[in-house]
Structure 1
Amino acid sequence: MSSLMDAVRAGRTAEAVSLLDGMTDAERRACFPELRALRKELRADQWTAQARRAYPALHAAGTACQTGAAGVANWLAASDMRWWPASPGVLIDLLGDRAPGWLGDVVHRLAERPVSSRVPYELMAGLVRLSGCPVPTTEAYVHGWVEHIGHVWQRGDTVLDRLRKDPHLGRLAAALFETNDIGGRLAWTATEGPDSWTEALARLTVEGVLDRKATVDACLARLLRGGPAADHRVFLRMLKAFALTREEEREHLADWLALASDAASVVAAHAQSVLASLALDGELTARQLAELSGAVLFRTEKKLVRAQLVLLGKVIARDASTADELLPAVAQAFGHEDSDVQERALKLVERHVRKAGTAAVREELVAAAGQLIPFLRARAAQSLGASAVAAEPVTYEEVLPPAPEPARLAPAPDSVTELAEEIGALLATDGDVAAFERTLDGLVRHAYGDRDMLLEALEPVVAGRWWDQRDPQYRFSVDDHFTGNHGLFNAAHGLELLLATVRGKLLTTTLHKALRRWTVTTDCGHSPLARAFEARIWEVAYRIRTEPLPFLLSTPTWGTGLLEPDELVARLDQYRRLGARVSDADFAQALLRVRRGDRTVAEAAAGRAAALGTPEGARLSEWLASGAPAVPAFRRRTTEDRILVESAEVAELQGDFPSGFRPLGRPVSVYRDRWRCYHWSDGMRQHWLALLPEQRELVAVRMLRDFCAAAVHDTRGDAAVLPLLAESGGEAGEAVHLSVAYGLGARHPEDRLAAVDALLVLAARGQLDAGRIGADLGQLVRLGAVKPSRLVESMRTAVATGANATIWGMLRHTVPVLLADLSTESVAGPARGLADLLAVAAECAERTGAREEIPHLARTADRRGSSRLVTQARRLRSALAEEVAA
């Protein structure tokens, strides 16, 4: 036994196998407890050189020294053995003397493991050969089989050759079509030739090696079932490789109809082409084609819808007797959400309406025409021979989502146990403003009141943190980590700083130095925001070490960061009674957060603050009585491809404020603030907004470059904070509106959705200047900062919520800016997506009943031709000029 353990520890696999071959079953079982103990020992640090050396021998020995099938399977597939396993050949040799039934049990247990277990296919296949059991058809086995067959470059043959030789081909090929997420693995091989799975299987069905009918049926069934895009592509390519005969296509008519109606776009297009060929050859009845059209014409893919309309037109042109059956099917497209589809359908009906043999069909077409947009409805009435109906007055009521109500912060956690749990959650997720602020306040309170209990409760939270090393040699690296040039990365990093302070991991001199220089990070546009956030954190840390605070004055009342005046007065009164010294940064942050916009509340609280008789009470009284928060002067700067904003100095943020907070009120310059930025944490932006909850313009002007980057440089996640910006307080002016405008043109859908949310919040709060943001969007599109196609998606998302009047109020200012360019000879053509933008504008005008003249619209609508741009311009002009019935 000792010889075996020595060989295993030394990683001498061949010697271990030789020793095992000479043992009886009883001797092997006796070795297993020591092998299990060694595994536990290695698992404590499995990345050492010793562990890497020992694992292959341990894997082999542990497999040989067990007799239960379940135990062996668990050992073979163990996650800690996965990185340095014994070779499949060694394992198969060790298990070769076991009973076939036992081996079959092991291999099926291994095959039932998830694909992520990465059980070697060679091991499972070898055990199948030894046992003679039925080949497994689980996901893990089929994935392994596909990968094994596909590695033809290692053996010099082809996929087709290897499949021909496989004794289990029929069973595994059938399982291939039932296995999830297999398309990605199949796609790794060639797409054409004998090295491709698609052509190899198709060739085998021709040769009769595989049952052709069963294989084709399985492929169609897989496409009907759906799945990931990779599966669609591979199995569709396989279906095409089968090159079905016309007879085989007719046999699967029901499958083609189902695929054209419900399958993924690329699969539906193929099914539609097959059905079109059958229809044009007379293989489909008019009723079958009409039923198919009813499903296809309401798909969102315009390409499929247009192709179906073209097919219907060809069939009617070839056989006029089908008109009575097919024209009502065409008329179903009158209700399609896209106006271009409606117009195409109307043109098709107009072309063939004379072929309709009964009055009932004409009446059905006239009734269906009521679904058309107003611009087409009048035309349909004339072409279908119906009397024109005067438009009824539009009764429209704007539907906006309710403005979010601010959430009041819950009190700080009462117990240290609850506080420790919330700290753990924040360290894992970074949390929102409310969670961070109440946890921060709780940490300060418990550090002041019951420090020993706090330290005990924090043990499991900080135990895994690298900075909690007990060795003194780590002390200076901890200090360097928190005082580095990049500052605090995010709110969780600031919380870690406080935890390290509570645990005594930072030097008092380090805290004092950081406090004096306010940990200036980088001199970019964000620096004043980051500096103010960090100033309070560092001062709290210093006070925890030297003179703990009883609680924080600046903890907000609401989740936006706003602090009620009466609450701040009460806290200052409690400080007075406790004889506690106020923290400068904490008090400065409280002043910036206290509500001053409601003058009645602020002035009443000013008197109570003055009555405290403390310097802080007098300062608060003066601050509340000074009026609403100041708004600086702003100036727009237009460069080659963007619009930015500069702001003047805010005098009230200078003076008595600590040096860490004064930069918040200093001027913002487009050309000066260009230093490289290290503030890459998206989660920090919400905390920056909470610094100045009644002066969001000051925050927005410093984050404008981020929102601009989401549109111009295609960054992801920069616009996520826009809804919080809209929910914040203070004036929504130049910077806020421009920020939302950039977000509406962001590259990524989630950023555009956030911008739409912000837009609707501003509208619901009555703070949206539609003319301002609409004009900004027009200029941004002209400059190339915002792509019209992205803007269209944002506008359609907002319209889908019911905000038609809001969007029209914006687009009525955007459209003229873009149409004006069309009147200049220097412009080669309209901006891509302008026609779609006009379509959204026309839709909003039709729904809201807007009646007005739009500059440059008539000139565009009077252009020759029937391009989509001209058609949508005419539609918009018609909607705006339509006269209603008296």
Structure 2
Amino acid sequence: MWERVRALIDAKDPDGVAALVVTLSDHERPEVAKALPGHLTAIRERGGDSWAVEEYGAELRAAGVGVLGGAAAIATWLNRRGLQPGWRSGDDSGRLAWILRHRPAELRADLGRRMALKLRGRRDRDAALALALLRESGEEPPLHGPLVLAWVTDAGRADRADPLLPALLPQIFEADGVGRLLREDHHDVRSWQVMLAGMARDGDVDRRFLLDGCVTRFLRGGADTDLRFFVRLHDLLEPSDDEIRPRLLDYVRLLPAAPGPVASLALRHLRALGGLPPEHVAECVEALLFRPEAALVRAGLSWLDRCVRHDPSLIGSLASAFHSTSREVQERAVRIALKHAPLMTAESRAALADAVPLLPPDLAVRLAGTFGGEVPEEEADGFVPGELPGVPPDKGVSPREFTRGELINALRRYPSGRVAVERLMAGLVTLAHRDRPGVRAALERSLGQATKPWQSRPWAQAYDWLCAAGHVIAGTATWDWSRRMPPADLVAPPQLMLLHRCAEILAAVERDEIPPVLLATPTRASGHVDAGVLVSRMEEHEAAGVKPLSADLQQALLRLPRTPDPEAAERAGRLTSAAGGIVAAWLAGTARPEPQVSVRWAARVGSSGESTWLDDKEPDVDFHYVKPVVTSRAPRTGLPLIDLLLNRDPGGFHGDRDQLSALPAVLPSHREVAAAHLVPFLPASWDRATAAAEEVARAVTGEGPAGEAVALALAYRLAENGDAYGGRAEDERRILPAIWALTARGELPAAEMGRQIGFLVTRKGLKLGRFLPALERTAQRGAHAEVFTMIVSAIPALASARRLPHRLDALLVLARRIAVGTGIRGAFPEIAALAARTGRSAAVREARRLHEFVSSTGSDMRGVSA
């Protein structure tokens, strides 16, 4: 008989195994049972690991259930490693239950209890079999938490006729995790809450049992997700006042700390009850006043307002409201106190007078006018601005001779970073001009096939061109590079400038017209080229009779500082070449173009991808389809790469990290254009590099006007790194030092930054709270007037949203702290317009407080940083 069973197992026929084992006689079953463990071992060894057993799990389980002698042996067999139902066998509980119906009833009952106690969670794959055995046996199920969880989710429905219901129903109020499992239990005919409410209505279950179970579960506590099901069940039961009154103290105890939905339920029934003793009302109100949910606090104050008319002694509970940290709670308590003042006893009036110092000064004045009491003085709220750090000097780059060994190492190892690439370019040109035969000999021995540039694609990296130049010098170049320049519309203009510089170095090497030195090699860490050094390099070119490389000259012009250098300008005037005349004109200030950069916000709408401008309105489309569009326009200079760089609108090019880190040094004297080229790379993206705080900081601390693009880059990075600003070490090395430096130099576009912060919140969906830590840190470091200007300038965009943004009240609190601490006063129409709104939202209330302070008598600081 064992051979027949084994053949069906090896054939992976679980139904065949089941049909055979139920026909075995009492003396045939022990024979199969004895051979079964050995066959499992053979399968494991044949497959090489325990996972091989899963291929035969359904067959082995069916065989074990049919032939093993006792419940303990069957339970152990089913729980063996590899014999849990796998992906192939799926749920085999129906097949196993059918086999077990051919076994003795006592065995089935014992096996059901054993399997139930072995459950470890509702997802245990033998849970369905355990529940089926318990239902069929009629035995009392064990009180085991995982069994209850499996039962309430079994088959996804509730059943009045379930034989397990009487024994397990009380456990749904005791077993941990039941409420979380049933939190999405909907109001349909199959749901547990509808079934239990219906059973209570029909008298099939005691209503008091269900209500007591819900209240007991509430008192045990837990998260909202754990109690949501019981709140809905309680609501469906619709308890009467007579059912609530015996549990009065339990509902009162729920108000201080229960989750919001539970506290709301308790409050609703307590308010509807009527006739509560005054001490219970006072206890309830005082508990509600310290809840974090504004709706519950308002409900508590409304309840107190209603009850005071009948029992003026309750007015003493308002003193608790004055302790609240919520401005809204304090304001409403003051209104209630003033409203009921004629009804108050002398004792109540004295109690309120004693509590006056707990209120903010403006509210204390209102209350003290009626009840007396000591009004506290207006404090600076702990805001004391610090001293701005000094502006670090732009360090010079000390020149160092580039050796042949360094050249070989650089060409054999991919150079990374702007400094390494610039050094390789300058070293290659200088060495090849000075000693081309020696460089050729060194490169012939060192450059191999691995260093050759790609032959099947455009050369989009500086290394490709410089490596090709090395092979040309070594005489090992065997390719045509004339069509390797990437199309201009596929490469960011700053990267295109670098590639053209490298390409013309390659061309000069090929023509053997290598200049003595590159003009554009930076002499400052910022990427600038000192004017005197550039003139000296031009003089060296003219002395050697070599025409400067075009792209190199254009890059050098863009790297000239904006600070006038009369001595260098005078020397440049004596240059005789055409390139010398261009340098002289730039140094004289007559040729440098001044780009005009603008930022507008657009949204893509419709399936065709059409864009619409978002002038001063919040978009009606997904924030994902909203983006800033940057344009740059400058007078034409006749220098093609400069004209392209200053007039081409930045796009979403797939720049890598080296390109982004090099960009600020390409335009060190046009920071607005540099920031504009970084704008497309501000959002994080999986398929391209992202402009990090370091790139933004280097770009915005260059020279030149700072406008919308600089403001947007700074604002975006404030939000992007907002989570990191809890620690001092993080913000010291990120974007805040750049803001402090710009503030110290009087160059921070604070008003424009505020506008862009407003747009990022209302148009791009960034959370306002992400800006708050960085703004507060900036203000505390000494840029308080600038931060105040940012907040004021952000208000119009924030106030134009369909719903006032979350944490706007906290932003206005920061503005008020700055104003109180530094004495800022003046007429601010933006604040006044928000303060004039109707309603009692937290943001409007804080706007009124801010407006009241800044418009009061004092020194006018309007325009400090605007």
Pairing 1:423-442 to 2, within 5 Å after superposition: none
CA contact (8 A) 1:841 1:876 kept: no
CA contact (8 A) 1:740 1:755 kept: no
Distance in 2 (CA, whole Å) between partners of 1:400 and 1:214 is: 68
Q: Which amino acid aligns with 2:40?
A: L
2:34 maps to which of 16, 29, 35: 29
Structure 1: tracts of 5 or more residues without a match: 152-158, 404-432, 438-482, 489-511, 537-587, 604-621, 656-661
Q: Which amino acid aligns with 2:813?
A: V
User: Closer, same or farther in 2 for the Cα pair 1:699/1:354, shift >3 Å?
Assistant: same
CA contact (8 A) 1:839 1:876 kept: yes
1:148 aligns to 2:148 (yes or no): no
Q: In structure 1, what is the equivalent of residue 853 of structure 2? A: 879
1:60 maps to which of 49, 59, 62: 62
Distance in 1 (CA, whole Å) between partners of 2:557 and 2:646 is: 21
Q: In structure 2, what is the equivalent of residue 421 of structure 1? A: none
CA contact (8 A) 1:819 1:856 kept: no
1:341 maps to which of 324, 329, 336: 329
Distance in 1 (CA, whole Å) between partners of 2:118 and 2:142 is: 10
Structure 2 residue matching 1:174: 3-state secondary structure: helix
CA contact (8 A) 1:330 1:345 kept: yes
1:635 aligns to 2:623 (yes or no): no
* TM-score computed with the length of structure 1 as normaliser: 0.60
Distance in 1 (CA, whole Å) between partners of 2:848 and 2:228 is: 41
Distance in 2 (CA, whole Å) between partners of 1:12 and 1:189 is: 39
Q: In structure 2, what is the equivalent of residue 251 of structure 1? A: 246
Distance in 2 (CA, whole Å) between partners of 1:170 and 1:527 is: 77
CA contact (8 A) 1:688 1:699 kept: no
Pairing 1:160-239 to 2, within 5 Å after superposition: 162-163=159-160, 165-183=161-179, 185-186=181-182, 190-192=186-188, 194-227=189-222, 229-239=224-234
Deviation at residue 636 of structure 1 after TM alignment? 2.3
Deviation at residue 316 of structure 1 after TM alignment? 0.9
User: Closer, same or farther in 2 for the Cα pair 1:89/1:821, shift >3 Å?
Assistant: closer
Pairing 1:437-448 to 2, within 5 Å after superposition: none
1:397 maps to which of 374, 380, 384: 384
Pairing 1:385-424 to 2, within 5 Å after superposition: 385-386=372-373, 391=378, 396-398=383-385
Q: In structure 2, what is the equivalent of residue 373 of structure 1? A: 360
Q: In structure 2, what is the equivalent of residue 115 of structure 1? A: 122
CA contact (8 A) 1:100 1:132 kept: no
Distance in 1 (CA, whole Å) between partners of 2:480 and 2:308 is: 82
1:848 maps to which of 821, 844, 866: 821
Structure 2: tracts of 5 or more residues without a match: 391-415, 421-455, 462-477, 503-517, 534-552, 563-593, 602-612, 615-626, 860-866
CA contact (8 A) 2:256 2:288 kept: yes
Distance in 1 (CA, whole Å) between partners of 2:722 and 2:332 is: 31
1:128 aligns to 2:141 (yes or no): no
1:775 maps to which of 751, 773, 776: 751
Q: Which amino acid aligns with 2:284?
A: L
Distance in 2 (CA, whole Å) between partners of 1:643 and 1:116 is: 49
Deviation at residue 191 of structure 1 after TM alignment? 0.8
Q: Which amino acid aligns with 1:267?
A: V
Deviation at residue 248 of structure 1 after TM alignment? 3.0
Distance in 2 (CA, whole Å) between partners of 1:24 and 1:516 is: 85
2:321 maps to which of 330, 341, 355: 330
1:20 aligns to 2:21 (yes or no): yes
Distance in 1 (CA, whole Å) between partners of 2:819 and 2:784 is: 12
Distance in 2 (CA, whole Å) between partners of 1:106 and 1:751 is: 55
Q: Which amino acid aligns with 1:115?
A: R
Deviation at residue 6 of structure 1 after TM alignment? 2.8
Distance in 2 (CA, whole Å) between partners of 1:144 and 1:515 is: 70
Q: Which amino acid aligns with 2:365?
A: A
User: Closer, same or farther in 2 for the Cα pair 1:232/1:86, shift >3 Å?
Assistant: closer
User: Closer, same or farther in 2 for the Cα pair 1:372/1:838, shift >3 Å?
Assistant: farther
1:298 maps to which of 286, 290, 305: 290
CA contact (8 A) 2:694 2:735 kept: no
Distance in 1 (CA, whole Å) between partners of 2:16 and 2:353 is: 90
1:315 maps to which of 273, 288, 307: 307
CA contact (8 A) 2:140 2:167 kept: no
User: Closer, same or farther in 2 for the Cα pair 1:668/1:239, shift >3 Å?
Assistant: farther
Structure 2 residue matching 1:24: 3-state secondary structure: helix
Pairing 1:857-872 to 2, within 5 Å after superposition: 860=833, 872=846
Deviation at residue 236 of structure 1 after TM alignment? 1.0
Deviation at residue 856 of structure 1 after TM alignment? 1.6
* TM-score computed with the length of structure 2 as normaliser: 0.61
Distance in 2 (CA, whole Å) between partners of 1:237 and 1:522 is: 64
Pairing 1:826-841 to 2, within 5 Å after superposition: 836=809, 839-840=812-813
Q: In structure 2, what is the equivalent of residue 739 of structure 1? A: 713
- Report how many residues are paired: 668
Deviation at residue 62 of structure 1 after TM alignment? 5.2
Q: In structure 1, what is the equivalent of residue 651 of structure 2? A: 673
Deviation at residue 69 of structure 1 after TM alignment? 4.9
Distance in 2 (CA, whole Å) between partners of 1:18 and 1:181 is: 39
Structure 1 residue matching 2:826: 3-state secondary structure: coil
Distance in 2 (CA, whole Å) between partners of 1:224 and 1:525 is: 65
Distance in 2 (CA, whole Å) between partners of 1:519 and 1:62 is: 72
Q: In structure 2, what is the equivalent of residue 456 of structure 1? A: none
Distance in 1 (CA, whole Å) between partners of 2:140 and 2:479 is: 73
Distance in 2 (CA, whole Å) between partners of 1:341 and 1:690 is: 51
Deviation at residue 344 of structure 1 after TM alignment? 1.6
Q: Which amino acid aligns with 2:701?
A: E
Deviation at residue 881 of structure 1 after TM alignment? 4.3
Structure 2 residue matching 1:29: 3-state secondary structure: helix
Q: In structure 2, what is the equivalent of residue 428 of structure 1? A: none
Distance in 1 (CA, whole Å) between partners of 2:713 and 2:561 is: 20
Q: In structure 2, what is the equivalent of residue 465 of structure 1? A: none
Distance in 2 (CA, whole Å) between partners of 1:205 and 1:36 is: 55
Answer 1 or 2: which has greater helix percent: 1
Distance in 1 (CA, whole Å) between partners of 2:270 and 2:387 is: 44
Distance in 2 (CA, whole Å) between partners of 1:305 and 1:190 is: 30
Distance in 1 (CA, whole Å) between partners of 2:481 and 2:208 is: 79
Looking at CA atoms only, which structure, 1 or 2, has the larger radius of gyration? 2
Distance in 1 (CA, whole Å) between partners of 2:310 and 2:42 is: 82
Deviation at residue 123 of structure 1 after TM alignment? 0.9
Distance in 2 (CA, whole Å) between partners of 1:218 and 1:776 is: 59
CA contact (8 A) 1:316 1:326 kept: no
Q: Which amino acid aligns with 2:111?
A: L
Q: In structure 2, what is the equivalent of residue 570 of structure 1? A: none
CA RMSD of superposed structures (Å)? 6.1
Distance in 2 (CA, whole Å) between partners of 1:178 and 1:109 is: 17
User: Closer, same or farther in 2 for the Cα pair 1:298/1:129, shift >3 Å?
Assistant: closer
CA contact (8 A) 2:791 2:811 kept: no
CA contact (8 A) 1:774 1:810 kept: yes
Structure 2 residue matching 1:6: 3-state secondary structure: helix
CA contact (8 A) 1:198 1:238 kept: yes
User: Closer, same or farther in 2 for the Cα pair 1:809/1:673, shift >3 Å?
Assistant: closer
Provide the identity percentage: 22
Deviation at residue 375 of structure 1 after TM alignment? 3.5
Q: Which amino acid aligns with 2:93?
A: P
Q: In structure 1, what is the equivalent of residue 789 of structure 2? A: 812
User: Closer, same or farther in 2 for the Cα pair 1:326/1:391, shift >3 Å?
Assistant: closer
1:90 maps to which of 71, 80, 95: 95
Distance in 2 (CA, whole Å) between partners of 1:246 and 1:730 is: 68
Structure 1 residue matching 2:340: 3-state secondary structure: helix
User: Closer, same or farther in 2 for the Cα pair 1:634/1:860, shift >3 Å?
Assistant: closer
CA contact (8 A) 1:599 1:628 kept: yes
Deviation at residue 238 of structure 1 after TM alignment? 0.7
CA contact (8 A) 1:297 1:305 kept: yes
Pairing 1:489-508 to 2, within 5 Å after superposition: none
